[in-house]
Structure 1
Amino acid sequence: MKIEARNNPQLDRRAIMRLTFVAKDPDSNPTQSPTLYRTDRGSWVVQGWVVTDPDALKEMNIPDGETAVEIPDRLVPFFRTDT
């Protein structure tokens, strides 16, 4: 899978990011989402539930071009750096 790097000043916006599927949440029905991907840049892409709680968002002070997603604890064991 390829996606463009957008809204990240640390990455070349024109560069293509290669994703490797790691895991889907098997206990989330019906879509088995959130999903975890490893990139070819030594980073992670997380697909999750959009955080919409205004108090939580205010606490995080998220800059323009970024967002927050929520994932369940059961996906954390899938994070690894040996790939």
Structure 2
Amino acid sequence: MALHMLGKDPNSDNGQSPTIYWDDETDHYVLQGWKLEDSAQLAGLDLPENETVIVFPRRMMPIFPEVKGSGPVD
């Protein structure tokens, strides 16, 4: 898997997460974010054992190439 960082949250402390990556082998995005730890929200999810949930701010959506209007990652 060859990950390419597309961008970090400009509002995060010290350049930490969340971060958006693109995997050029699978053509998938990989998202790094904060753990969802709210028990009420987690209880409302149908979360398989092999999956996890992160919190990801809406303000980061423009980092995705398709949202920027530049099409898929090359």
Report TM bin, short chain: 0.7 to 0.9
Which blocks of at least 5 consecutive residues in structure 1 are unaligned? 1-16
Which blocks of at least 5 consecutive residues in structure 2 are unaligned? 67-71
Which residue identity lines up with residue 58 of structure 1 in the other structure? Answer: A
1:66 is matched with which residue: 32, 39, 51? 51
1:30 aligns to 2:8 (yes or no): no
Q: TM-score normalized by structure 1?
A: 0.72
Q: TM-score normalized by structure 2?
A: 0.80
Which residue identity lines up with residue 62 of structure 1 in the other structure? Answer: L
> What per-residue deviation string (whole Å, max 9, x for no partner) do you get for residues 8-64 of structure 1?
xxxxxxxxx211110011111124310000112111110000001111112121100
1:52 is matched with which residue: 5, 23, 37? 37
Partner in structure 1 of residue 27 of structure 2? 42
- Matched-pair identity in %: 37
- Give the count of matched residue pairs: 67
Moved over 6 A (4+): none
